[in-house]
Structure 1
Amino acid sequence: MTDLTARQAELAENLARVEERIRGACAAAGRSRDEVTLIVVTKTYPARDVRLLAELGVRHVAENRDQEAAAKADECAGTPVTWHFVGQLQTNKVRSVAGYADVIHSVDRTRLVNALSSAAAHQGRRLDCLVQVALDAESETAGGRGGAAPGSVAKLGDAVEAAQGLRLAGVMTVAPLTGPYAGRPSAAFERLREISTGLCTRHPAATMVSAGMSSDLEEAVAAGATHVRVGSAVLGERPRLG
C-alpha cells in the first residue's frame, strides 16, 4: 500500500466516524441528516489531503490563514470543493481571500464589509458572508477570539446585505473560552440560534448557522447548526507549526 493509498484509507475511516456522529446527533435532535453540512477544516494539512477528501466526497473545506490557503487553493484548482475562510481576517488580506474563498465566516466589523465588497466587485465575484458572533463580548465590544458583539449583529447584517458583491448568509460562532458561556457549548449554541432567528426576521435568506467543531459538534447540531466545522476528527492531530 502506497503512502497515498494509506492516507486516503485513514481519511475515509475518520470521515465515516464523523459521519456516524453527525447522523446520531441529527437523530437525537429529530433532524434530517440533510440539514447539516460538514466542512472539513484543512488548515496545516497539504493540498494533497484536500484532493483526497474531494475523492472521498467532501465538498466543503475551510482554511484560516490566507498565506497558506491561497497557495493551497491555487494548487487545488479544478478540485470540486467550496472554500470557506474561517479565520480572523485583516483588511490587507481581503483582496487575496476574495479571489478563492466562496464563503467568509468571520465578518465582524463594518470596515471589513466595505473591504470585502470592494474586492468582490473588483474581481466580479459574489461572496457569501457570515457575521461572526462573539458570545464572550459585551453589547458593543469585540470578543477576545474575534467576532461582533451580539448587540451589533443586526446592524452588521444590514451592512453586508446592502454591500455590492456580498450576500448575507447567516451567522457563525466559536464556543467561547471566557464569559458566561465558557465551558457551556450547548448554551452558547442555543444563544447563537436565538441571534440567528432574530437576524432572519430582517433577512429571511440568512439561514446558515455555522457552529460546532470536533469536540462539540453534537451540541451544535442539537442547537440547530446547519454547518459544522471539523478538523482534527477527520485529519488527525495537527502538525506543530514552526
Structure 2
Amino acid sequence: MSKIPEQLAQVQNRVHAALAAAGRAEDAALLLAVSKTKSAAAVREAFGCGQTCFGENYLQEALEKQQQLQDLPIEWHFIGPIQSNKTRAIAENFDWVHSVDRARIAVRLNDQRPPSLPPLNVCVQVNIDAEPSKAGVLPEELPEVLESVAQLPRLRLRGLMAIPAPRSDHGEQQKVLLQVASLLQEWQQRYPQLDTLSMGMSGDLEAAIAAGATIVRVGTDIFGAR
C-alpha cells in the first residue's frame, strides 16, 4: 500500500497549522510537491489526491515524466541548478523557474520562451548563507539579476527562492528565513510585483511559513526518502 495519500495529507495539515499559528490566511502558502527521483506513477497518485503543483530538479527526468503525464493539468516548477544548454527545454516545458541566479540565464530563458505560452514565472535564487557549494546570488548581487529579469518581456519576475543551510533549532531556522523575507520586502519597494517567497522544506516548513513563505517545497515527507 502506498503511503503517499496519508503523507500528503499530513504535510497539508502541517502547512495549514503553521499558517494558522502565524495568523496568516489558509491559502497564503502553496505546497509544492518535490517529485525529483520519484516515478510518474507517484506523481499521478499525488495528483489524484488533489496536489497539482510539482517541482523537479533534473531536467531529463522531468521531461520524461511530463511526457507520461501530459493528460494531467499539472503546474510544473523547475527548482534545480540551470545550465546554459538546458534553458530551451526549461523555457518550453515549465510554468515556473525558482533557480535563476545569473542575468545570462534569464536572457536565454526569455529568448527561448515560446510566444504561444504565457510569460515564465521566475524567482531569483539567493545564497543567503554564502555557501560556496550552493547556487544562488549573494544578497549584494541581487540588483543586477532582478533588473535583468524585470526588463525581459517573456519572463514574469515573481520573487526570491532560498535553500538555507540546515539548522535543527526552529529559532535559528526562522532567523535566517526572516533575512530572506526582509530582502523581498526591501526589493518590493522597487519591484511591487514581487509576491513570492519560495523557501522551506520538509525539515523547516513551519519556520518558513512563520517567516512569510508563500511556496514551501516538500519532497521527502510526501514521497518518502530518495
Q: TM-score interval w.r.t. the shorter chain?
A: over 0.9
1:150 aligns with 2:143: no
State the 1:122 CA deviation: 6.4
- Rate the CA distance shift 1:124–1:222 in 2: closer, same or farther, 3 A: closer
Residues 199-224 of structure 1, C-alpha deviations (whole Å, 9 max, x = no match): 21111111100000000000000000
Matches within 5 A, 1:38-57: 38-57=31-50
Distance in 2 between the 1:78 and 1:118 partners?
28
1:64 aligns with 2:57: yes
> Aligned residue for 1:87?
80
> Aligned residue for 1:31?
24
Matches within 5 A, 1:1-20: 6-7=1-2, 10-20=3-13
> Aligned residue for 1:3?
none
State the 1:235 CA deviation: 0.3
Q: Tell me which of 177, 193, 212 is aligned to 1:205.
A: 193
5+ residue gaps in structure 1? 1-5
1:196 aligns with 2:184: yes
TM-score (norm 2): 0.93
State the 1:121 CA deviation: 4.6
> Aligned residue for 1:168?
157
Distance in 1 between the 2:64 and 2:17 partners?
36
Q: Match for 2:45: what amino acid?
A: L
Q: Match for 1:194: what amino acid?
A: S
Residues 134 and 173 in structure 1, CA contact (< 8 A), matched pair in contact too? yes
Distance in 1 between the 2:132 and 2:148 partners?
20
> Aligned residue for 1:225?
213
What secondary structure sits across from 2:77 in the alignment?
Answer: strand
Aligned residues: 223
5+ residue gaps in structure 2? none
Distance in 2 between the 1:19 and 1:95 partners?
33
State the 1:81 CA deviation: 1.4
Distance in 1 between the 2:185 and 2:136 partners?
18
Q: Give every structure 1 segment of 4 or more consecutive aligned residues whose post-TM-superposition deviation is greater than 3 Å.
A: 121-125
Distance in 2 between the 1:86 and 1:214 partners?
15
What secondary structure sits across from 2:82 in the alignment?
Answer: coil
Residues 91 and 114 in structure 2, CA contact (< 8 A), matched pair in contact too? no
Distance in 1 between the 2:61 and 2:156 partners?
25
Residues 70-101 of structure 1, C-alpha deviations (whole Å, 9 max, x = no match): 11111111312110000010010011111211
Residues 103 and 144 in structure 2, CA contact (< 8 A), matched pair in contact too? no
Residues 93-137 of structure 1, C-alpha deviations (whole Å, 9 max, x = no match): 011111211100000011111111111156755200000000122
Q: Determine what percentage of the aligned residue pairs are the same residue.
A: 36
Q: Match for 2:147: what amino acid?
A: D
State the 1:17 CA deviation: 0.9
Distance in 1 between the 2:218 and 2:27 partners?
17
What secondary structure sits across from 1:184 in the alignment?
Answer: helix
State the 1:33 CA deviation: 1.6
Residues 136 and 144 in structure 1, CA contact (< 8 A), matched pair in contact too? no
- Rate the CA distance shift 1:19–1:122 in 2: closer, same or farther, 3 A: closer
What secondary structure sits across from 2:27 in the alignment?
Answer: helix
> Aligned residue for 1:159?
148
1:235 aligns with 2:223: yes
